[in-house]
Each structure stands twice: as structure tokens, then as C-alpha cells.
Structure 1
Amino acid sequence: MFEELNAQWGLVHAFVLDGDGGATSVSREALETLALGPGQSLWLHWDRSHPLARRWLRERSGLSEFACDLLLEESTRPRMLALPDDELLLFLRGVNLNPGAVPEDMVSVRIFASARRIISLRLRPLHATDELIEQWGRGTGPRVASEMLLYLAEHLTDKVDSLVADLSESVDEQEEELDNNPRFRPDHDLMLQIRRRAAGLKRFLAPQRDIYGQLARSRMPWFVEDDSDYWNELNNRLTRYLEELELIRERIGLVLESESRRLGERTSRTMYLLGITTGFFLPLSFLTGLLGMNVGGIPGSEAPFGFLAACGLMLGIAGFQIWLFRRLRWL
């Protein structure tokens, strides 16, 4: 009920975390007089393109003009920025799972985080937030702001896992066919597309991995005690994904190189056979051309067995050539 009313203001989700793994949805109007109780935290998720959301952020969020400018930037790479009073600005990327979208066309989420408040902004729908709400419904969601930040990053990372696995499986299929079928030709368009997708993912995952590493080392005062271990694990997971993406690009290079080598070998073999065939018929062609000149004095032109003698001579030359080619191991 609240979500439909909040959408008119550009507010996608608004929840008060109860500190025990659950959360309660609140309306946009209630934010004006909302007072958090002990152990409670607030999460606001806004549609960055909505004019009222942008207005609320600048006029009623309490954030500095500098922070608002960064959160509303049109294009931002993943990064982390520490603000005064132990506050954070995070810019993260996630896999685009929206219908009709290309997964590696990453969706962006901009986050302001403090001890008891999380403000996030997105331009396109983010499926990770839906999974968080489901966890709260089961009473197993994040309890405080630091866990909320961690859970959101974890869900974004989970989506990368399946995408990298799909890319790897596509390359596996091409490699298997190439090994088992000598006549198989890899799909060059598919291989180049996978290479571009892997490069696009690496572009955003590499700085995001560094962000997780910084969060693992930062140990903000409002972080839960074991948060650093989880941030470090996310850093390791992204490192593994980046290594897998680099391996995928190398494997694609080997597949294309193998196909190029096979094509070169087939071309060389074909040219070799054509050369042997040309060399075999060249003396015979010379002889038939010589005997076929329409001039007087051609040997055997008046003999009744001249044609048979010429055929026998050509057969003899052909037999000598076959012996010579086998002797030279050309055949």
C-alpha cells in the first residue's frame, strides 16, 4: 500500500529496520515526523530520475550539497568516498536483469550510509532490493545499517556469479566441439561477443573489488564486529570472477587461434595438392602442346601407330613422375 503512494514521490522503498532481522514499510509522509527507536535504522531507496526524489534529496535529506551533487551525477564509476562524521558514499554496479536488457549493461546504485541511515538511488530497477525485502519478510534480513550495506553488496555480487558461469559454459561448448569434431568451425561472432561482454564486466568489477577491499580495511565505528570478514570475502569473490573473466578472454583467443591454425593448415594442404597436380600435368601438357602444333615435320604424323606411340610416351612420363614424387616423398 505504501509503495504505491511512495512511488508518486519517487520513493521506491522505505523501511525501518527493527534490529532483529525484520523491517516495517513506512510512507513518504511519515518520514517528516519519523523518530527512530533504540536499535532501529532507516533505509530509503529512491528513483534517481524522479524530480521529487531529487528535490527531497537536496532539501530534506540533510546531506551536504557536495554529497547530493555526487549522488545525482549522470555517470559514475564504482568508487567509495569517506565523508565527515563517519559517513560513506558508495557507487556500486550490478548485473542488469531487467527484461530485454543486456546483463553486462550494468545497473548503478548510489548509496549514502551512516550509522543508522541508508539512502540509495537507482535509475533502473534493481532486483537485489526485492530479495532483501523477502528476507525481511522471513525475519532473516539485515538488522542494522552496516548489515544492510553488506547485504546489498552481497546480492549485487551474487548476480555476477551466474553471468560469469554462463559465459564460461559458452566457451566450454565451443572448445568441446573443436576438440571432438575436426570439421567444426567456432562461431566467431559468438566468441567476439563473449569477449566484449567479459571486457565490459571487468571494467566495472575491478574498481568494485577495490571498494570491498577498502571497506574490509576501513573498520568504520558503526560496522558490526565481523563485517570486515564479510567485506574481505566479497573482495575475494570478485577477484575470482575477474580472474575467470581474464581466463575466458584467453580461452577465446586460443579457440580463435586454433581455428585460424586449422584454416591455415587446410589452405596450405590444398595449395600443396594443387602444386603437385600442376607439377604432374605440366610435362604432359608440354608434350601434348608440342605435338599438337599445326606445322610440318611433327614426328609420327604419318605413322599408323603414331597416336598410340604418343599415348605410350605420356604414360611412361606419368609413371616416371609418380615414381619420382614418391621418391621425393611429395606423395
Structure 2
Amino acid sequence: MVDAPQDSGLIFGGVLDGRGGFLRMLESLPDRHTEQATDEHLWLHLERTHVAAQQWLYQHSGLNEYVCELLLEENTRPRLVKVGDDALLLFLRGVNLNPGADMEDMVSLRIYVDRHMLITLRHRPLRAAVDTREMLDAGRGARDLSSLLLDLTENLSQRIDSSLLEVEDSIDRLEDQADENSADFHRQVLTPQRRRVASLRRFLGPQRDIFNQLQELGGDWFTPQQHKRWYELHNDLTRHVEELDLLRERIGFLQELQQRFMSERMNRTLYLLGIISALFLPLGFVTGLLGINVGGMPGAESPWGFWIALGLMLTLSAVQLIVFRRLRWI
């Protein structure tokens, strides 16, 4: 299914038939002031940055200016906003599964819902909206707007599972390499993994709180069965957040192992250099002493002077090595 906007900024839209499908699809954006019947339930999926869609929101959607500004904000965080007694604004995030994109660069979905209309806005393609439409096309989708909101949210949350499993598998492999003290582990850069976990945690934590608020929402917004679905969504997202917290701790532990290994390797190198320096320091003193340009140097005229000096230095080196061994320096 092509997820591309029309000239009006409408990606797709339709009227629910109350039996799990669409009564009819919309070819253009309606004027809510004049065209929508009071008993119809609309779903409109829009391209947020499209100029025509923005104009429709302000002029023909029936929403006040404050709501339109919130829906079109450039940067949002997950949150729930009540608009009077009969409308909600939701700002949610989903895992970015677009080709070539980073998973942690989460896609924003803005939702307005009241008794008769649900509007979703996105900038980058979002698979959850497409899946929800396919359910309606097949006649097994939502029967009303509250169920449609739940279907969208569930489809958005389902993909978090696979993304977390991918991160967890990579951390498991790194831990196996660490247990084997593999050279591959010490060459790994863990910063991208930690950044990915932190980014997911940043958005999923507030989103969990939103699901809890929706679960406890009073009035006649949701049926008892739908409240249970929100409860399960909240539980699932709580589990995801706890898994992210655990992954962050595991990555921190692996980074500590890497830092400890690097510190130990550096200490061994410095220790070896210290031993070499201690070995050659007396020899350097002797050669420096023999190299001074003054008269009366012992053995200067003897044909055996060089070999005697060399033998003395080798003997001195051997004595140093014996002393180092006895002191357990080497």
C-alpha cells in the first residue's frame, strides 16, 4: 500500500461502517462545518508538513487555533492533552522502520479524536497507520473511534518488541565475547548501543504514563473491555521500559569491562617500560662515564679495553635481571 499524500495533504481517509470496515473512502478533505453527518465516524490520515493539510486544519476542520498549533508543532514529546470534555490530543512515538533510518530516531504520530472524527498526522511514513487501515480494508478493524485509537496504539507498540529484541541480541553477543575475553569485544564501540537505548527510553517512559492516564480516563470514552486493553498496553510498555533500564545497566557494565581492560593493558605497558628504563639506566651511566673526554681513562690504550667494558656491562645486566627476578618485578 502506497503511503503518500495527495495534493490536499490527505494520505487516506474514510468513514467507518460500524462493522469493522470502511463505509466509503474519501478522495478529498471534507469541510466539517457543512459536509459531515453527525452520525458518521471519520478517520483522516494527513501529511503534517503539507501546506494544504495545514490550511484545512485551520479553516475547515472545526478545530480551534490552539489545537491546530499543537498538532503542527515541529518538536513534540509523548503527552496527552484533554480538549474540553469530548476531545483528546495524543502525541505518540513509534520505532522508525523506514529504509536507511536509525531505529532510535522515533517517528512522531499526532492524534486528535472526538466523538465523530479521528485525525492522525505524520511526517515520515509510519507502518502502524498502514496496518490499521489494512485491518479496516479487510473488514476486521475497529467499529468505532475509541477502538480505532486502540488499534493504532497497539500497532504502534507491537514493533517496539522486535526492536528491543534486536538490541538485546547484540548485547548478549557482546557479553559472550566479554566472557571469552575475545579481542573482538575490546574493539567494539558501545556508545551507539547506549545512545539507542537512551533514545528509546526517553520517549517510551512518558508514553507509558500516557497509557496509564488513558486506562484511568473517566466518562464514557472507553468500554470496560477497552479499559482492559489500555491496561495491557500500559503493562507491556512498563515491561519495555524496565528492559531498557536493564539494557542500559548491562551496557554500562560492558563499558566498565572495556575501560578496565584498557587500563590494565596501559599499566602493563608502563610497567614494562619502567623495567626497561631501570635496566638501561646503570648501563647508560657507565657508557656516559666511559665517554667523557679526559685523560687517564682506564684501559684506553689496551687492545682489550672494549671487550672488558662490554663484559662488565653484560655482567651488570645479568646481576640486575637476577635482582629483578628475586624482587618479582619480572
- Fold similarity call, TM over 0.5: yes
The whole-number CA distance in structure 2 between the counterparts of 1:101 and 1:160 is 15
1:20 — aligned with what?
19
Q: CA deviation at 1:218?
A: 0.9
Cα gap change, 1:102 to 1:30, in 2 (>3 Å) = closer
Residue 13 of structure 1 contacts residue 25 of structure 1 at CA under 8 Å; is this kept in 2?
A: no
Rate the CA distance shift 1:71–1:319 in 2: closer, same or farther, 3 A: closer
Q: 1:12 to 1:183 in 2, by over 3 A?
A: closer
Partner of 2:174: 174
1:174 alignment partner AA: L
Change (3 A) 1:283 1:220: same
SS of the residue 2:115 aligns to:
coil
Q: What SS does the corresponding residue of 2:187 show, helix, strand or coil?
A: coil
Alignment of 1:244-259 (within 5 A): 244-259=243-258
Contact 1:186 1:255 in 2 (8 A): no
Asked if 1:234 is matched to 2:228, the reply is no
Q: Give the alignment of 1:58-73 within 5 angstroms.
A: 58-73=58-73
Q: Answer yes or no: is the 8 Å Cα contact 1:95–1:104 preserved in 2.
A: yes
Moved more, 248-257 or 295-304: 295-304
Shift of 1:138: 2.9
Partner of 1:279: 278
Q: Could you list the runs of 5+ residues in structure 2 that have no partner in the other structure?
A: none
Counterpart of 2:154 in 1: which secondary structure? helix
- Structure 1: 5+ residue stretches without partners: none
Give the direction of change, closer, same or farther, for the CA distance of 1:55–1:276 in structure 2 (3 Å limit). Answer: closer
**Residue-by-residue CA offset, 1:296-322 (whole Å, 9 max, x unaligned):** 433344556555544443343233222
After TM superposition, the runs of 4+ consecutive aligned structure 1 residues lying more than 6 A away are: none
Match in the other structure for 1:213: 212
Alignment TM-score, normalising by the size of structure 2: 0.85
Give the match for residue 85 of structure 2: 85
Q: CA deviation at 1:148?
A: 0.5
The 1:285/1:112 distance shift into structure 2, 3 A limit, reads closer
8 Å CA contact retained: 2:211, 2:234: yes
Alignment check: 8 A CA contact 2:111 2:121 kept: yes
Q: Partner of 1:16: helix, strand, or coil?
A: strand
SS of residue matched to 1:7? coil
Deviates more, 1:234-243 or 1:211-220: 234-243
Aligned position for 2:54: 54
CA–CA distance in 2 between the matches of 1:320 and 1:29?
95
| Structure 2 CA distance for partners of 1:310 and 1:131, relative to 1, 3 Å | same
Mark the CA change 1:293 to 1:233 in structure 2 (over 3 Å): closer, same or farther.
same
Give CA deviations for 1:217-276 in whole Å, capped at 9, x if unaligned. 114403122212221222222222223333333333333332222122112111211211
Instruction: Show the 5 A alignment for 1:83-162.
Output: 83-162=83-162
- 1:210 Cα deviation after fit: 1.0
- Kept in 1: contact 2:8–2:29 (CA 8 A): no
Local SS of the residue matching 2:216:
helix
Whether the aligned pair in 1 keeps the contact of 2:90 and 2:110 (CA below 8 Å) is yes
CA RMSD of aligned residues (A): 2.8
User: CA 1:290–1:115 in 2, change beyond 3 Å: closer, same or farther?
Assistant: same
Aligned length, in residue pairs: 324
TM-score normalized with structure 1 length: 0.85
Paired letter, 1:198 = V
* CA deviation after TM superposition for structure 1 residue 25, in Å: 3.5
